[in-house]
């Protein structure tokens, strides 16, 4: 039962990702991307990763959508003539996508890559999430702080007014 | 062993890469990167479940999400700057104008 629900949501994830790349309007594509994030959140809940799922839901479905929407609103939309011209060429762009998917998945079925992850498992018993975040991988937290600071300074540098000009 | 989750990850990678290569709109390139990241997150959670090390996988996913958002925010700032200078988001037009 649980597996069936998981497979349904995996299918929905692929459909939603396809919609994201195929929708013409960029704002609608961003909303489809948020839907993809929500479906991925549900999959992560089913697979037993609730904390990462909440991060995915709040950051990827919320903050990322807001960043995209503000970027789209700050950059003008193309005129109707341009978009009509693009619309003709747009669908022909995806002709090769199903062919590539069939070829790569066919190669995977023929070669059957060994997905053996057991070589790095169970050397230690699984730790609690709290202990892993704050003690085992505490350097990650320091790295995240540096990355966030770098991002903040980057945005400030990019968007500041050039007063001398 | 091929599982359906792994196939989904591969499909997301293919969709993301294909879109990244074919699109010429700067914002849509970022959307393609997001789709690729979704595949990576699903892969990390899958590996965490298979290896029974879900705590480590979750911490790595959190790190990945934070890095992804910072990259996205900076890239959005760069895109806005490019648009203000060239009045276009099409990579071909931007290239032509800077030639």
- For residue A17, the distance in angstroms to the closest alpha carbon of chain B comes to 7
ipTM: 0.92
B47 in contact with A at a CB cutoff of 8 Å?
Answer: yes
Q: What is the pLDDT of residues B12-62, one digit of tens each?
A: 999 999 989 988 889 999 999 999 999 999 999 998 888 888 888 899 999
Q: Does the beta-carbon distance from A75 to B65 stay under 8 Å?
A: no
Q: Does the beta-carbon distance from A104 to B28 stay under 8 Å?
A: no
Are residues B50 and A117 in contact, defined by beta-carbon separation less than 8 angstroms? yes
Which H or E run includes A77?
none
Domain that residue A61 falls in:
2-77+114-126
In a domain, A61, yes or no: yes
C-alpha to C-alpha distance for A114 and A135, rounded to whole angstroms: 33
Residue A7 has its nearest CB partner, among B4, B54, B80, at B4
Residues of chain A falling short of pLDDT 70: 1, 77-90, 114-126, 161-165
Q: Which two tokens stand for residue B51?
A: 């290896």
A12: CB partners within 8 A, 6+ apart: A39
Which residues of B fall within a CB distance of 8 Å from A159? 77, 80-81
Q: Which of B64, B50, B54, B52 is nearest to A49 (CA)?
A: B54
pTM of the complete model: 0.85
Neighbours of A78 (CB within 10 A): 16
Q: Which two tokens stand for residue B44?
A: 């990390």
Q: Work out how many domains chain A is built from and give that number.
A: 1
B33 in contact with A at a CB cutoff of 8 Å?
Answer: no
What class, spelled out in words, does domain B4-98 have in CATH? mainly alpha
Q: Indicate the domain borders of chain B.
A: 4-98
A52: CB partners within 8 A, 6+ apart: A44, B41, B45, B57, B58, B61, B62, B65
């Amino acid at each position: 039962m649980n597996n069936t629900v998981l497979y349904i949501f995996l299918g929905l994830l692929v459909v939603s990702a396809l919609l994201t790349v195929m929708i013409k309007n960029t704002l609608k594509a961003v909303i489809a991307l948020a839907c993809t994030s929500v479906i991925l959140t549900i999959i992560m809940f089913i697979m037993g990763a609730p904390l990462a799922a909440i991060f995915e839901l709040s950051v990827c479905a919320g903050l990322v959508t807001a960043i995209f929407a503000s970027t789209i609103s700050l950059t003008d939309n193309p005129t109707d003539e341009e978009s009509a011209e693009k619309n003709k060429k747009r669908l022909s762009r995806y002709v090769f996508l199903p062919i590539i998917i069939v070829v790569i998945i066919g190669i995977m079925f023929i070669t059957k890559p060994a997905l053996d992850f057991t070589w790095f498992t169970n050397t230690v018993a699984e730790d609690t999430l709290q202990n892993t975040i704050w003690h085992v991988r505490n350097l990650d937290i320091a790295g995240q702080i540096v990355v966030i600071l770098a991002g903040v300074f980057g945005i400030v540098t990019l968007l500041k007014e050039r007063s001398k000009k | 062993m091929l599982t359906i989750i792994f196939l989904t990850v591969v499909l997301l990678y293919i969709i993301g890469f294909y879109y990244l290569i074919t699109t010429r709109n700067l914002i849509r390139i970022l959307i393609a990167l997001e789709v690729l990241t979704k595949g990576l997150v699903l892969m990390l959670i899958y590996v965490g479940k298979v290896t029974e090390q879900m705590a480590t996988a979750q911490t790595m996913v959190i790190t990945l999400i934070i890095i992804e958002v910072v990259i996205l925010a900076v890239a959005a700032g760069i895109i806005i700057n490019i648009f203000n200078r060239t009045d276009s988001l099409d990579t071909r037009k931007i290239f032509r104008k800077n030639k």
